[in-house]
Amino acid sequence: MLNGKVIVVTGGSGGIGSAICKELAKLGGCIAIHYKSDYKSANDLKNYIKENYGYADIFKADIKDRKQVDQMMETIYNSFGRIDYLVNNAGIAQIKPFMDITVDDWDAMIDTNLKGLFNCTQSALKYMLSKKSGVIVNISSIWGIRGASCEVHYSAAKGGIISFTKALAKELGPSNIRINCIAPGVVDTDMNKYLSSDVKEDLVSKTSLGRLGTPIEIAKAVSFLLSDEASFITGQVLTIDGGFI
């Protein structure tokens, strides 16, 4: 399905990111795994993919820093010969009452989750626009749709990703480049391990399917949106939340 396609996955060594990388590699993609600091996890993932599926390599950058992002994309292009697809998965989260959010908290959230996405998208598009071909999938959150108490800065950033996706899809359509967004519900990853058992039980009780999501369920949705089977889908938000909202 993705034979030979070069796919950049930001935040590729995390829970959802690693599942995305493995699924896309299984389908024949050549995976450029981005990481910021966790070299071991990224390198282990690279070796796993190379041993089981095909080709992958790792690339380090702080996505808040445009210079680092441009250098990373150039290195990926020089290594693989092209960039076909981009999955903007990297992000951070924080639970904090609004009045306790500091300026540094706000800046870190917006700079990573929204500015970082802008940096990676604009940088990767340089290699897609010349071919008039490409697909981008952005990872948002149900909190970007509904909003979450004590996660105002996170919700604002994830809501921005949704609007970003819808607006850019209109602009990129004439260039035959599709861009869509996935809004996961509560997924069972390390990012959510800090939640107490009571909070998890409450979230599960509010989910129609009665459980948390899994990273592979997000990964399979990403693979669909990247595939030719989704060739007439752009500017859309796919909510994968087990019926939570």
Residues shown for the chain: 245
CB 86 within 8 A of CB 7: yes
**Eight-state DSSP code of residue 81:** S
154 is catalytic: yes
- The single-letter code of the amino acid at 203 is L
CB 41 within 8 A of CB 18: yes
> Cβ–Cβ contacts within 10 Å for residue 183, how many?
23
Residue of 39, 55, 154, 194 with catalytic role: 154
H or E stretch at 136? strand 134-139
> Cβ–Cβ contacts within 10 Å for residue 163, how many?
12
Candidates 12, 14, 120, 25; CA nearest to 65 is: 120
How buried is residue 171: exposed, middle or buried, by Cβ count under 10 Å (0-12/13-18/19+)? exposed
- Write out the two tokens for 36: 């910021």
**Annotated catalytic sites, by residue?**
154
